[in-house]
A and B are shown apart, each in its own frame.
Chain A
Amino acid sequence: MGANPGRAQRLYQTIGAVRTGIIILLIVGIVSAAGTVILQRPLTSPEDMERAYSPQVLRILDGTGLTDVYHVWWYLALLALLAISIICASVERWPNAWKFYSQPYRRTDAAFRAVLPLRTSLPVTDAAQALAAAERVWKRHGLKPERTVEREEVALYAEKSRCAVLAVYVVHASLLLIMLGGVTDSIWGYKGYVALVPGEPAISQIELRDNTVRRLPFALRCDEAGQENYTGQFSMMPKRWWSKLTVLENGREVEHKEIAVNDPLVYRGVRFYQSGYGTSSELRKTRLAVLRPEDSATPEAFKLAVNQTVQLRDGASVTMVKFISDAFPMDNDLYQRSKDLNNAAIKLEVTRNGNTQPVFLFRTEEAAPGDLTLTGPYDAQGNPVTQVPYRFLASLDLAPFTGLQVSHEPGQWAVWAGCLLLAAGLILSFWVLHQRYWAVAVQDKEGRLVLWLGAASNKKREAFEEHFQRIAKEIETELM
Chain B
Amino acid sequence: MARYLFSRLLATLPVMLTVLVVVFMLLHIGPGDPAAAMAGDNASPEQIAQIRQRLHLDQPLVVQFLIYLRQLAQFDLGVSVYSGRPVAMMILQRAEPTLMLALTTTLLSVLVAIPAGVFAARRLGLATDYVVMALSVAGFSIPVFVIGYALMQVFAIELGWLPVQGYRPLASGVWNTLRSLTLPTVALTLLFAALVARITRATLLNVLSEDYIRTARAKGLPEGRVIATHALKNIGVPVVTVVGTSFAALLGGVVVTESVFNLPGIGRLTVDAILSRDYPVVQGVMLVFAFALVVVNVLVDLSYAVFDPRIRQGMRA
A and B from one complex: no
Q: List chain A positions with a Cβ less than 8 A from chain B.
A: none
